[in-house]
Structure 1
Amino acid sequence: MGTGDADNTKGLSPRQQKYFATARASLEKETGRTMDEWVAIARTCPETKTMTRIAWMKEHHGLGMNRANMVMSAAFPTGAGWDQPETLRAQVWSDPAATAIFEAIERAAAALPDVVTGQRKAFTGFSRNFQFASAKPAKGGQVVLGLAVPPDADPRLTPAKAEGWSERLKSKLTLTSPADLDAKLVALIRQAWEAS
C-alpha cells in the first residue's frame, strides 16, 4: 500500500474521488432522474451480462458509458466492489506465481510518495493525481504491467491497446518473474509516476 492509501478505502485518488462524486451529483441535474429512478429503470433490463447491460442502458436511455456503468453497478452489485478491495485483491491475485510478481511491482510503486493503490475487478491500478501504472494477471503465472510512458521508452515495451485500464497507460510488458522488475523498469515506474 502506498502512502496515499491510509484513509482511502476505495483506492481512488483525490481526483478520482472528486470525479465520481461530481458524476453522481450531476446525474439528476443533467438527466432529470435521481439515482434511485435510474436504478429502477436499470432493473428492467433484459440483459444479464455487465457489458450488455451497459450497452442496453446507453442504447435505450442515452446514458454515456460512465453513467451507464455507475447506474448498472448500483442496480446490480456484484458483492465484491470497490468497497471491498481486499476481496477483489484475493480474487484477482489468486495465482501464487503472479502474486509474487505483483507484490514486487507493488513494492516499487508504494515506495513513491502519495501513491494510491486501486483494486479493480481485473487489475490493480496505481495513481497519484492520475493512474500511472496497472498490473493484471496473465496466463501461466505472468503479469501484464501497463505504464503511462511511451512504448519507445524501453525496447521491452509494446503499445497498450484495449486493456481495460486507464487510457493514459500507453505501454505494457509481460513479466514472467519478480526478477523481471529490474532497475530500468523501476525507473520507468518512477517516470510514469512523475508524469502523473
Structure 2
Amino acid sequence: MAEGLTERQQRWFASVRARLESDTGKSLEEWVAIARTCPETKPRARLAWMKAHHGLGQNRASYVLTEAFPSEAGWETPDVLRQALWSDVTSGKILAVVEALATPLPEVVTGQRKGYTAFSRKVQFAAIRPLKDGKAMLGLALEPHEHPLLEAPKNEPWSERLHARRPLNSPADADAELKALIEKAWERS
C-alpha cells in the first residue's frame, strides 16, 4: 500500500492497524472475517454496513474493507486505476499539463485513487478528476476567496483539506496563473 502515499500517510495507515485491536477488542484478522460476511456487494454499502452494524468509524471501516477486499481497493494497481479513470484523451491531456506543474515541486508524491489523482507533500495539496466532455476538475488546498477563478467544492471525492476547486476546460487552462495557485497550495502542505 506504500506506492503513491506520503511517509505521513503510510504512518497513519500503520497507526490505524496498530491501534485497531486495542481500541476495538478485535484484531485486523477478526475484522476482515466480519467484513467478508457483509451481505452488501458495493463498496459504499459495505462501508455503511460496517459502520451501522459494527460501530466502526469511517477510517477504520475503510481500512478493514481495503484489507478484506484488496482487489476492489486498487491500491496495488495504480496504473490500472489511472488508465480506467483517464481514458478520455482530452481530459488526459489536462492531467498531463497539471502534472507538469505539480510534480517538479520538491517532495511531491502522486497517488492514484479510484476517482481522482492526488498530489501530496506531507498532506494532500491538490487533486484532479476527469469530467465529461474532456474537461477536468482540480481541487486545491486553498480558500475560494483567494482567487476569482476558484470556487467552493460540491461533493468532491478528495481530501477535506481541498477547500477550493477550479474547473479546467482544456490543457490551455493550465497556465502561469494556475501554476502559481498550485505552488501556493503546495507551500501550505
Shorter-chain TM range is over 0.9
RMSD over aligned Cα, in angstroms?
1.3
Asked if residue 174 in structure 1 is aligned to residue 167 in structure 2, the reply is yes
Counterpart residue number, 1:151 = 144
What TM-score does the superposition give when structure 1 sets the normalisation length? 0.93
Counterpart residue number, 2:158 = 165
Retained in 2: the 8 A contact 1:151–1:171? yes
Q: Of the candidates 46, 52, 59, which is equivalent to residue 66 of structure 1?
A: 59
Which aligned pairs between 1:1-196 and structure 2 lie closer than 5 A? 10-79=3-72, 81-196=74-189
Q: Which runs of 5+ in 2 are unaligned?
A: none
Retained in 2: the 8 A contact 1:80–1:88? no
- State the Cα distance separating 1:161 from its structure 2 match: 3.1
Partners of 2:26 and 2:123 lie apart in 1 by 30
Retained in 2: the 8 A contact 1:10–1:84? no
Q: Which runs of 5+ in 1 are unaligned?
A: 1-7
Partners of 2:2 and 2:86 lie apart in 1 by 18
Q: Please identify runs of 4+ aligned residues in structure 1 that moved more than 6 A.
A: none
Give the residue type in structure 1 aligned to 2:175.
D
Partners of 1:24 and 1:137 lie apart in 2 by 32
Retained in 2: the 8 A contact 1:80–1:87? no
Partners of 2:56 and 2:6 lie apart in 1 by 25
- State the Cα distance separating 1:183 from its structure 2 match: 0.7
